[in-house]
Amino acid sequence: MVYTQRNGEIEISDISDFDPVKTFECGQCFRWTADESGVYTGVAFGRAVTVRRGAAPGNCSDGSSIIISCTAEDFETIWRGYFDLDLDYAEVRRGLCVDSFMRKASGYGAGIRILRQDAWEALCSFIISQFNNIPRIKQIITSLCEIFGDTFIFENNKLHTFPSAEKLAACSKDDLAPIHCGYRAAYIIDAAKAISSGSLDLNALSQVSHEIARCVLKQLNGVGNKVADCVLLYGLHMLDSFPLDVWIKRAVTEHYGPGFDPGVFHPYAGVAQQYMYYYMRNAR
């Protein structure tokens, strides 16, 4: 990866497998929106940026450039890690082509990168995601941030940070009623109280095994296997986590059958899962 700074932006060249559309629209994140020209604006870790493709054609599986509106300091301290830019996803993708289905799925999903999201935001977001579709998840999270997050101005637009666990721990279910998250309000508050009280340390979970971290997360009300695995993958960046939703279950049933072990994709089962999800949801 090579990058240059000019006019308050970072242009990344010589990077394989970075497609903003696929990365932001593959179901792993909920706070990125595109304008009519395809420029994405997102908020993470209290900062906002825009992301767009450079002048070169293609989807950055062929070396096209990506332009991020940030300083070199913010790029190094926030966005380089957030976009997982030091992992060679083209090499990972080649290693996942273990059968004909994965060759199709990984080829179709080329350009997806697993974001290193804030662990608390990932936990809260995927609690909200239960039995919800993506547009509604985004709507609920947008309302949550507008009501309980901090407001700041970015490129003449009013944006909002994701509310802290401490802020939501002090809320009641009635307080959360305006975001229309239903029964999930109790789960959000319980998780926020666990974080703010210190009884759950998400940063510490990143230092233990996948199995232990999963068990700890499942002790929270409303957190089952799927939510826990999403938090491990998208919040703690445990790339061997393999969340099972309806699309992945369908893929496993159709292409692998009973007894399927995602360990065949070790140590990047989570990346394989994302290619499978994106292919099953969009390609057909």
One domain for residues 132 and 52: no
Same domain, 56 and 125: no
In-domain check, residue 272? no
Q: State phi, psi for 157 to the nearest 5 degrees.
A: -115, 145
Residue 211 counted as domain residue? yes
CATH number for the domain spanning 140: value is 1.10.340.30
Please tell me the distance from the alpha carbon of residue 167 to that of residue 20, in angstroms, as a whole number. 31
Shared domain check, 77 and 151: no
Per DSSP bridges, beta strands 32-34 and 40-44 are antiparallel
The CATH number given to whatever domain includes residue 31 is: 3.30.310.260
pLDDT at 107: 97
Helix (H) or strand (E) holding 191: helix 184-197
> 166 lies in which domain range?
119-235
In a domain, 16, yes or no: yes
The answer to whether 187 and 221 are in contact (CB under 8 A) is yes
The pLDDT assigned to 14 comes to: 82
pTM of the model: 0.94
The pLDDT profile of the chain, 284 residues, written as one tens digit per residue, is 889 998 899 999 888 899 999 999 999 999 999 999 999 999 999 999 999 998 644 444 444 799 999 999 999 999 999 999 999 999 999 999 999 999 999 999 999 999 999 999 999 999 999 999 999 999 999 999 999 999 999 999 999 999 999 999 999 999 999 999 999 999 999 999 999 999 999 999 999 999 999 999 999 999 999 999 999 999 999 999 999 999 999 999 999 999 999 999 999 999 999 999 999 999 86
Instruction: Specify if 263 maps to a domain.
Output: no
Q: Is residue 269 part of a domain?
A: no
170 falls within a domain: yes
Closest by CA position to 16, among listed 117, 113, 95: 113
Query: Within a domain: residue 64?
Result: yes
Q: Which letter does DSSP use for residue 46 in this model?
A: T
